[in-house]
Amino acid sequence: MTKKDPIVSVKHLKQYFNVGKPDEVKAVDDISFDIYPGETLGLVGESGSGKSTTGRDIIRLYDPTDGEIDFEGKNISKLKRKQMKDFRSQMQMIFQDPYASLNPRMKVEDIIAEGLDINHLVKNADERDKRVHELLHLVNLNEEHASRYPYEFSGGQRQRIGIARALAVKPKFIIADEPISALDVSVQAQVVNLMQDIQEKEGLTYLFIAHDLSMVKYISDRIAVMYNGKIVEMADTDELYNHPLHKYTQSLLSAVPVPDPHSEKQHKIIKFDHSKPFKDDQYLQEVTPGHWLYCSDEEAKQYK
Amino acid sequence: MAQKVLDVKDLSIDFDTLNGTVKAIRDVSFHLDKGETLALVGESGSGKSITVRTIMRLLADNETITNGTIDFEGKDILKESKKEMDKIRGGKIAMISQDPMTSLDPTMNIGNQVAEPLRVHEGMSKHKALEQAAEVLEEVGIPNARERMRDYPHQFSGGQRQRIVIAMAIIDNPDVLIADEPTTALDVTVQAQIIKLLKDLKDKIGTSIIFITHDLGVVANIADRVAVMYAGKIVEYGTVDDIFYNPQHPYTWGLLDSMPTLSMNSDRLNTIPGTPPNLINPPKGDAFYARNKYALKIDHEKQPPFFKVSDTHYAATWLLDKRAPKVTPPESIQKRQAEFKKRGEADHD
């Protein structure tokens, strides 16, 4: 595969909160990565690792403290409010909680069409209806659902409505922030399969944020592991699962319980020492082609 | 034979909604042996949580028990007076719920909160109860427990809060501990710690545990026995090996088959098609009929009884009837069953 130009390029992104105060938090601390057109990049880590903050920085729900975010080669990290409107229709977000992210007082058709209305993407009511029905079909719902309210749907169905809303403005890039965490296992699988189908049909690029390592494996082409505001490892999915190099990645993978009582009984969990996670001479570098590790030059040599 | 601590028989529960009466629990029976961990698994709405809330007698006003008994220490819990129930609840039977933020009182420091069961159930002096609370908080792994007794829930992380809830639940040495999705809201590494903690505590104080979860990985780790629930009924139960290596009910097959594993290398996840039935008008036959590709005609007409697979293992599916045609389970299930057979033969040698 020849490397295409990245659709999103994050360069030295920093997001600090409460800057200059005693409770300053470095939620995202100097991370850089690229996302290529058509791929799914999985961003995993535990709560507080900075994965959601990264997603929100990219779609500019936060103003980054420092660094640059390029979308299709154009720096968007300093855009003003008005200029943002344009690019937000190219980048959309799917949220974690399908209960909190849909307005309970709006009908499904109005929820889905809100982006169409704001961006004047449809000329009249007929066209609006037609597009809404198209979108409902795309997420395996039907037009009968258009005139109902969110409370009439199950969690999995609501998440489909959230997906339809994100797709309405024909985005190129979607940030999905833990879209399946609130769902039952069997429903999670349905939503993951649906997202894959839509990606193929519409040629979308995903940033898939998750803490569930077994599910994220299925949808991601590449995975980046975050810890304490930094990316500690990034590689192709199979490479990362088969040859995790960073101690933290190893510990995270070892903590996933497997549905097999006999191997669970011998299950060893690798401990990670949280007291001194990083050294000054460490940074994220490519140790083997496509496999990035947060380490020092000295440490990198053993992998080369 | 193991001693039964809890025996649920023929339990049925209805609840009223604006759309009609939902038959949420339909004729559920199971028991809990002393010192064992029983996992209740199933999708949202299958009736797991309402079953354990009934054991705690924490039903809402619109929920009615229409039939059944729950034996605990030779008495029927469902007939106990409110006063008697107050003694049992939080004392002999304690519960850990899913969300540690909502099960702690935000306006009460954690020392007093953890000590409360001792004050209420044992009438212990404040000083003594707080001393024990500090010990238990240390035991569940709260760092600097003694110094942090006066801190409030918001000052702790999610994993620590769940530890505090566990401390509160075990402080009065309950006979039965009910854990309703205690790790679902937690990170995997924290989940692993909490599960280990629960197992250690079980060994130490000999508590019996009912563990509710929809994560079969967690079940494989913690359970001695498993009961699978679907649409308000138990459809299969057995030892953890019976359920994971020799499952018989197509719903159990579906659940196991849709679990992603780290070692699997297919691109597509298996799913159980469709959604659970509406329990306002439960289907006449097997509730799983509409989603079951192995369904027989009789599944549509008549509810399957429990068929015995082994002394420990029962499943309610017509596929186990002598007259039923042989079906081939999904490939992943066949692999599990082959493993089971191999192990069984090895045991006999």
Q: Which residues of B touch A264 (CB under 8 A)?
A: 217, 220-221
The tens digit of pLDDT for each residue in B273-285 reads 888 888 999 999 9
From CA B102, how far away is CA A227, in angstroms rounded? 27
- The verdict on a CB contact (< 8 Å) between B258 and A261 is no
Assess B261–A contact: CB distance below 8 Å, yes or no: yes
Sheet holding A25-35, edge to edge: A25-35, A8-17, A66-71, A74-75
- pLDDT at residue B214 is higher than 90: no
Give the CB-side neighbour count of residue A13, counting CA atoms within 13 A.
Answer: 34
The residue ranking higher by pLDDT, B190 or A241, is A241
* Helix spans in A14-168 (H): 51-58, 81-88, 108-118, 125-138, 155-167
- The verdict on a CB contact (< 8 Å) between B218 and A261 is no
From CA B15, how far away is CA B312, in angstroms rounded? 32
From CA B113, how far away is CA B168, in angstroms rounded? 7
Restricting to B residues 172-201, those with a Cβ less than 8 Å away from any Cβ of A are 187-192, 195
The tens digit of pLDDT for each residue in A43-57 reads 999 888 999 999 999
Q: Report the predicted TM-score, pTM, of the whole model to 2 decimal places.
A: 0.88
Assess A99–B contact: CB distance below 8 Å, yes or no: no
The tens digit of pLDDT for each residue in A23-40 reads 888 999 999 999 999 999
- pLDDT at residue B349 is higher than 60: no
Helices and strands in chain A, H and E counts: 11, 12
**Contact by Cβ (8 Å): A53, A61:** no
Nearest neighbour of A189 by CB, restricted to B188, B215, B258: B258
The reported pLDDT for the residue numbered B263 is 64
Contacts of B157 (CB under 8 A, 6+ apart): none
**Contact by Cβ (8 Å): A42, A216:** yes
**The two structure tokens encoding residue A77:** 């990290």
The tens digit of pLDDT for each residue in B58-83 reads 998 999 999 999 999 889 999 999 99
The reported pLDDT for the residue numbered B265 is 60
**Contact by Cβ (8 Å): B179, B40:** no
Mean pLDDT confidence for B153-174 = 90
From CA A172, how far away is CA A170, in angstroms rounded? 7
Assess B254–A contact: CB distance below 8 Å, yes or no: yes
Per-residue CA distances from B33 to A63, B1, B27, B175, B208 (Å): 57, 10, 20, 11, 7
Element (H or E) spanning B53, and its range?
helix B48-55
- Cα torsion angle, A278, A241, A98, A95, sign: positive
From CA B228, how far away is CA A268, in angstroms rounded? 27
Assess B272–A contact: CB distance below 8 Å, yes or no: yes
Give the CB-side neighbour count of residue A238, counting CA atoms within 13 A.
Answer: 4
Assess A192–B contact: CB distance below 8 Å, yes or no: yes
Is residue A203 left, alpha or beta, with left meaning phi > 0 and alpha meaning psi from -120 to 50? left
Give the CB-side neighbour count of residue B6, counting CA atoms within 13 A.
Answer: 28
B115-B118-B120 Cα angle (round to 5) = 105
The reported pLDDT for the residue numbered A200 is 93
A54 burial type by CB count under 10 A (0-12 exposed, 13-18 middle, 19+ buried) = buried
Instruction: Report the chain B residue with the minimal C-alpha distance to residue A221.
Output: B267
Q: What's the gap in Å between the CA of A102 and the closest CA on chain B?
A: 20
From CA A283, how far away is CA B114, in angstroms rounded? 44
Instruction: Report the chain A residue with the minimal C-alpha distance to residue B43.
Output: A184
The tens digit of pLDDT for each residue in A46-85 reads 888 999 999 999 999 999 999 999 999 999 988 888 888 8
Percent of chain B at pLDDT above 90? 64
| pLDDT band per the 50, 70, 90 thresholds, residue A184 | confident
At residue A115, the 3 state secondary structure works out as: helix
Q: Which residues of A touch B262 (CB under 8 A)?
A: 213-214, 217, 241, 253, 256, 258
- The mean pLDDT of chain A is 91
Assess A189–B contact: CB distance below 8 Å, yes or no: yes
Closest Cα partner for B211 from B200, B198, B192? B198
**The two structure tokens encoding residue A50:** 């900075």
- The verdict on a CB contact (< 8 Å) between A186 and B258 is yes
| pLDDT band per the 50, 70, 90 thresholds, residue A114 | very high
The reported pLDDT for the residue numbered A3 is 61
Nearest neighbour of A193 by CB, restricted to B219, B245, B268: B268
From CA B20, how far away is CA A298, in angstroms rounded? 69
Assess A46–B contact: CB distance below 8 Å, yes or no: yes
Percent of chain A at pLDDT above 70? 99
The reported pLDDT for the residue numbered B268 is 77
| pLDDT band per the 50, 70, 90 thresholds, residue B331 | confident
The residue ranking higher by pLDDT, A273 or B25, is B25
| pLDDT band per the 50, 70, 90 thresholds, residue B324 | very high
Counting one residue from chain A and one from chain B, the pairs whose CB atoms sit within 8 A come to 104
Q: Which residues of A touch B240 (CB under 8 A)?
A: 261
Q: What's the gap in Å between the CA of A215 and the closest CA on chain B?
A: 6
- pLDDT at residue B198 is higher than 60: yes
Mean pLDDT confidence for A89-103 = 89
From CA A11, how far away is CA A226, in angstroms rounded? 15
Closest Cα partner for A43 from A201, A202, A221, A199? A221
Which of B41, B48, B189 is best to mutate for the A interface (most A CBs within 10 A)?
B189
Assess A91–B contact: CB distance below 8 Å, yes or no: no
Q: Which residues of B touch A267 (CB under 8 A)?
A: 221
Mean pLDDT confidence for A155-180 = 93
From CA B330, how far away is CA A116, in angstroms rounded? 44
- pLDDT at residue B310 is higher than 80: yes
Which of A47, A51, A185 is best to mutate for the B interface (most B CBs within 10 A)?
A185
The reported pLDDT for the residue numbered A47 is 83
Q: Which residues of A touch B252 (CB under 8 A)?
A: none
Paired sense of beta strands A222-227 and A230-236, if any: antiparallel
- pLDDT at residue A2 is higher than 50: no
Q: Which residues of A touch B225 (CB under 8 A)?
A: none
From CA B269, how far away is CA B256, in angstroms rounded? 12
The tens digit of pLDDT for each residue in B87-111 reads 899 889 999 987 777 889 999 999 9
Q: Which residues of B touch A256 (CB under 8 A)?
A: 188, 217, 262
End-to-end CA distance of chain B: 25
| pLDDT band per the 50, 70, 90 thresholds, residue A189 | confident
| pLDDT band per the 50, 70, 90 thresholds, residue B180 | very high
| pLDDT band per the 50, 70, 90 thresholds, residue A92 | very high
Is residue A57 left, alpha or beta, with left meaning phi > 0 and alpha meaning psi from -120 to 50? alpha
Q: Crossing angle of helices B158-170/B126-139, nearest 10°? A: 130
Percent of chain B at pLDDT above 70? 97
- pLDDT at residue B344 is higher than 90: no
> Which residue in the block uniquely carries the two structure tokens 């709260």?
B142
Restricting to B residues 14-73, those with a Cβ less than 8 Å away from any Cβ of A are 43-44
- pLDDT at residue A230 is higher than 60: yes
Which of B41, B183, B186, B188 is best to mutate for the A interface (most A CBs within 10 A)?
B188
- The mean pLDDT of chain B is 90
- pLDDT at residue B346 is higher than 70: no
Contacts of B79 (CB under 8 A, 6+ apart): none
Q: Please, what's the b/e burial string for A268-283 (b: 16 or more CB within 10 A of its CB; e: otherwise)? A: ebeebeeeebeeeebe
Nearest neighbour of B217 by CB, restricted to A156, A186, A258: A258
From CA B137, how far away is CA B142, in angstroms rounded? 6
Closest Cα partner for B225 from B235, B236, B214, B217? B236
The tens digit of pLDDT for each residue in B117-133 reads 999 899 999 999 999 99
The reported pLDDT for the residue numbered A1 is 43
